[in-house]
Structure 1
Amino acid sequence: MADPFNPKSGPKGATRRTAVGLLLGAPLLGACAGVQQTLTNTFGTGNSAQPGPAGPAQQPLAVGTGQVKVGLILPLSASGNAGIAAQSMKNAAEMALAEFQNPNIQLLIKDDAGSAQGAQQGTQQALDEGSEIILGPLFALSVPATAQLTRSRNISVIAFSTDSSVAGRGVYLLSFLPESDVNRIVDYAASTGKKSFAAMLPENAYGNVVEAAFKQAVARKGGRVVAFEKYGADRSGAARRIATALSGADALFLADDGDAVVATADALTAAGANLRNIQLLGTGLWDNPRVFASASLQGGLYAAPDPSGFRAFAGRYRAKYGNEPVRTATLAYDAVALVAALARTQGGQRFSQDVLTNPSGFAGIDGLFRFRTDGSNDRGLAVMRVASGGGQSVAGSPKSFGA
C-alpha cells in the first residue's frame, strides 16, 4: 500500500511509551499472547511513488549517536512522487528516533535514487560503515541489489516493497501486502456465513497476486468460487459475464484502487447487476474518497489498518514538519522504532531471524505485525464498511496473533 489517510498529536511521553512499550512490550518480551494507497512500489502499476529520473544525488547523512549502526536506503533524489515519498519516510524515521527515549542507534541514511545500482552503492556504503541491519529499499527492483550484498554477510534487511517475490533469505517486508487484506476480508466474510464467492479483478500483476491469495483463502475457509473474471481497459465484457452469475454467490470481491473499483462497480450496474443484493468485499485500496462517494459501493466491506493509528501519527508529523506524511511514512517510523527497541532489549541476537520472526509479533503505528520466515508479513487488520462519510469500523484489529 502507499498514500494518504489522516492524524492526532500526543505528548512526547505518550509517544515514547508507544515506541517502546507497544512495539516490543508484551508481544516480544512477554510470552504467550503470543497501513489509501495506490498500487504499490512493487508491481509497477499505479504506485504514486514510482521511481523517475533521478535528481541531484543526496549527501550521505548520519542521524543519532548510538553505537548500533542501521542503514536506511531510500530514493531521496528520485523525481516526482518517489522522491516526495522518500523524504516523508526519512522524516518519519528521524521522528521515531526523536520520540524513542535514548535510542542506542545511529541511522546511516543512503540515497538510492530509485535505482538498483543506487541501492547497491548505498548498501555497500552502509555495510562498510558498520551497519548491522538495513532498512529499505522502497522499490522491488532495488531489493535484490541490496540483498545480494547483505546475504553474504548474514545481515538482515527490512524492506518496504509490497512484492512478496523479493522476500526471503534474510529479507523481510514491512509493508502493506495485498495478501493480508485478502485473508482478513475473506476470513471475516466466512465468519458471517458467506460461502459462495465471486470475484472480478484487474488483469495486471496486482490482480494476479490478489487472485492467488483469494482462491487460497476461500478454499481454506471451506467456501467456493462460483464466478471469476479478469478485466483489462474494457470492463464491460467481464462485467456482463459476472452479472449473470451473481445469483449463485453471496459475496463479490473487487480488488482495485479507488478510481478503478468505482468504474468496475459502475460497469456491473450497467450490466444489470444489483449490487445491493450481494455483500461487496475489497482490500485496503478502497480507503479512498472516490469509493466513499460511490452509491454502488455503499455497505461494502474492506480490510485495512485501523485508521486511528495513522491519524495520531500524522498529527505529530504535521506539528513537527508542517505538512502531511505520505501513507507509507509509518513504515519507516515503525522500522526505526523496532530496531531501536530490539537494540535495547535483545543483546547480540537483536537482528537475528529468531528475534525478527517472533510469532507474537510487534505493535506499530498501523497495529500488530509480524514477519514470517519466508520474509512476508502478517498484519492485524480491521474490517471497515464503506459509508458516505468515510470508512466505518465493523470489526476492530486483533490485539494479538493468538495464544
Structure 2
Amino acid sequence: MLLGTNLLMAQTDAGSAATGQAEAPKVDWTGVAYYVLIFFLICLGVAVVGKILKVYDLTLKMQGKKGLNWNTVMATFCIIFLLIGLYGAYWSFTEQGSMTLPEAASAHGVKIDEMFTVTTILTMIVFFITQILLFTFLFRYRYSAKRRAHFLPHNNTIEKVWTIIPAVVLTILVVFGFFTWQKIMNSENLKDDINIDVTGHQFAWELRYPGKDGVLGPKDFRLVTGTNNLGVNFKKKSSFDDLKVDTMYLPVNKSIRLNILAQDVIHSVYMPYFRVQLNAVPGLPTFFKFVPTITTAQMRAKLDDPKFEYTLYCNKICGGSHYNMQKVVRVVSEAEYQTWLSKQKPYLNDALRKELHFASANEQSNGSTNRLALNN
C-alpha cells in the first residue's frame, strides 16, 4: 500500500503533464473535514457509551446490587475493536486495492511486483494471526477472582520458535531483494546501455542524450553558467555532439541507464510504471538501469486512454513548486527512436559556442576554423 501511496502523492493531472502545463494539485478540504468530523463523532460516541455505563454501574451500587464487571466490559470492547479492525483491513483491500501501482512496464518491474506481493501476503498472514491471538488472549484471560495467574518466566521452545521462524523468513526476503536489486543495478554490458543524463533542480528536470558517438560528455559544477546550465565540460570531444531534449524518448526492449544528479536540493527520479525511483543528490552521482517493455501506444490501448503518457516525476517534496517537476516519457520502437533522435538539437548551441569562443554552426558550414577556448 505504501507504493500505491507514493504513486498518489507523485501523480498529478496526466493531461497537464502531456501539455507541459502542470497545475498545483487541489486539496479537497471538504472531504478532509468530513472524515475529521466522523472521527470526532466516533470518539464522542465512545465517550457517551462510557459515561452511560458508568452511571449504570453507580446506580446498581446505590441499589445495593453488584456493579458491572469492568474487566469483562473492557475485554468485550477489545473483541468489538478486533472485529471492526479486521473488517477495516478487509475494506481497505477491497475498496482501495486499485490504488496500488499500475501494471509494470519494465522487465525488472515484474520482479519488484512479485517481491511486493510475497511480502504483502506474508505480513498480512502474520497481522491476522497476531491480532486475533492478542485480542483473544485479552478476552480469555481477563481478570477473574476465581482464577489465579500462572507465571511463566521462561520457555526455551517458545523463544526458539518466535526467533528462528521470523529470522528465516526475513532472511529469505532480504536475500531475494538483494539479488533482485543486484540484477537491476548490474553495471556490466555498459556498451549496450543507452545513457541518459537526468539532472534535477528547482523545479525542473534537464535531459541530455549522447550524440552519434554514444558517449555523454563529462560535467563539472564549476562550469555552470547561464548558458551552460548543466556544466558540460567541452574540453572533451565526447561533449560536442550531446543532445538536449525536452521529452524523454526510450526505445522498447533496450537497456536504459539514467545517470542521475541534482544541482540544489535532494530530488527523486520517479517513474511508477517502470518501477524506477532513486534519489537525485547534489554532489553524489547515482544511476538506475531498466528495460522498458511496453510502448506508449500499447499502454494507451491497454488502458483505453488515447491521451496516456508515461511521466517522470519528482518524489521528494523539494519546494513550493515541487509539482512542476514532470517530464513526458515516451516508449517507442527502435525505428521511431532513431527518427526522433536525428531531429534533436545539440546541447552546444550558438549561444554556448559564442560564450566558449567556438565557431558558430554557420561559420563551420562555411569552412571557418573552429577554435576552442578552454573552460575556465
Q: Taking structure 2 as the reference length, what is the TM-score of the superposition?
A: 0.24
Q: Higher strand share goes to which structure? A: 1
RCO comparison, higher one (Cα < 8 Å, 6+): 1
Q: Taking structure 1 as the reference length, what is the TM-score of the superposition?
A: 0.23
* Larger gyration radius, structure 1 or structure 2: 2
Q: Higher helix share goes to which structure? A: 2
